[in-house]
Structure 1
Amino acid sequence: MRDLPPFSALRAFEAAGRRRNISEAARELYVTHGAISKQVKALEESLGVPLTRRAGRGIELTAKGRQLIPHLTRVLDDLDGALRAITSERFEGELIVSCMPGLAATWLIPKLPLFFESFPDISVTLLSASNEQRSAADLEILYGRPEWPDRNIRLLKTLDVFPVCSPRIMNGPEPIRKIDDLYKHVLIDEPGGAHWREFLVAQGRDPSLVRKRLRFEAFNQGILAARDGLGVAIGDGLTMASDLATGRLVRPLPAMVSRRSLAYYLVTVTDQPVTGPMAAFTDWLTSEIQRTAID
């Protein structure tokens, strides 16, 4: 018989260790902050070694914690995949999803193979959130304030925004070491420049001092420009998750802007019957965002 700690303690530590934050782990697992702390402490007592310690507003892992976390994450991912595989046969049919083009290009489309691996009998049609046909969508992934009438609204993720750039800029003649260094570079934004204006004002800086700007109507075009080293963009831990994980983009500064009034939401029409494909995609999307978003 395997002498293993309680599954709830392992699951709590994995979420807390992966996210480096007790509160974020609590939100991911739909429990309280105290419940996560209690389970992590119970695991440490069971193993007889410390796994975490406080670090500012979050936590950091001890050497033993860093040793354990990748194995635990892999085991839970394998278990999640196995459970999805044996239940996926219940879900088949068509699903129409509307999503913002930027999020679709940078995050959703690269993740869809994982969805099809778990639910091979579901066909997906992906519409742009700006498409006139979006009213035909079963599910909408939107960003903003939850002010859509006659809709069921489910919070997916609230994230801070921060500057990102190519490593080439950081290794170049004018690396970004402080906020004022941003003025030396091209700042990439959408038309109107609202994102950089908001960020600079929040840092106590004057947006009118920006000398070089590059603006794109499409968000993902700005990301491509940032990857190519054309300037510094603004993004969040969801749309930038893959680029940050692979090193195509880096965060030159720790500074960020909290956007607690804005978030990603999953939206459906009120009183719309929930189909099997809708339920499968909702559960998968919620889990995948919590798993991959960088805070």
Structure 2
Amino acid sequence: MTDPESKLVLSSSGDGQNSTVVSPWELPWQDVWFELILSRLSLKELFLLKAVSQESKELVKEYFKYRFVVDLSSVGAKFNKGAFLALTEDMQNLRELVLKNTKDWLTDDVLMPVLGSNVHLRRVDLTGCNNISNLVLQVLASHCPELRELCLCSCHWVSQEGLTSVAMQCRKLEKLNLTGCWDIGDDTVIALVLFCQNLMSLHLGNIYGLTDEAVCTIARTCRHLQQLSLKGCWRVTDQAVRILAEYCPTLQGLQVRECRNITEISLSAMRKRKVRLDVPPKFDNKRKALVKLHLQI
């Protein structure tokens, strides 16, 4: 770590005769420190630098205000409540907040002030954060109307009330992951897509109460849909897939693994359209015999 008392010699000529001695802290913060130096440091290195001196503490604190992205997905388990509060206490310009792997310490009282202070958030990822509640979704809905992407994968606490609040206020949503949100069903998903008709990616895997009614509403409402996951939604049938094939011309990927009531009868139309599926083709015995005969010939 650089000695905080060290000086830099800035020379305007090759012979060093016209030179100026400055402290590193006198360099332009925005153009030099933020853009060229601090942006290349890890969070751990930033916290170490913050502890060097009063000047470095103010520098890093100001840089945290400037940051657009906080991604703790790779360090969340090693982080703690105090470090998160120190990182985010003055942030007001966040665009992305990724908090995967923070379930051991992330709670409502820690997260809600951050959401309330960052009204420009466009992406929030709370994958597996199970020590928070629907109060977080209500704060997100009331303060972050520009939200485009929300991931609540494995957030079993998500309720109809919380998600409906988000749908009503965050109508610019384009990507939503609700995989494993067991407590919601058709009514919630239908309300969601009626408010958020610009959805391009929707993951509804392992929502066991989901039926054809919700999927058909998705098909008829989300005309820009490109990716849809229904993995493990065993109540959904071929009828819903046929409606998807008819009403979703932009669909590029469909996940239906473990959907026991979806068969090749409906999936064949998707294959003809080159939609990417997560299950291989299944042939009945008659078709297998015809294929075998053709190969023999």
- Both proteins in one fold, TM over 0.5: no
Which has the larger strand fraction? 1
TM-score (norm 1): 0.23
Which has the larger helix fraction? 1
Of the two, which has the highest radius of gyration? 2
- Structure having greater relative contact order (Cα 8 Å, sep ≥ 6): 1
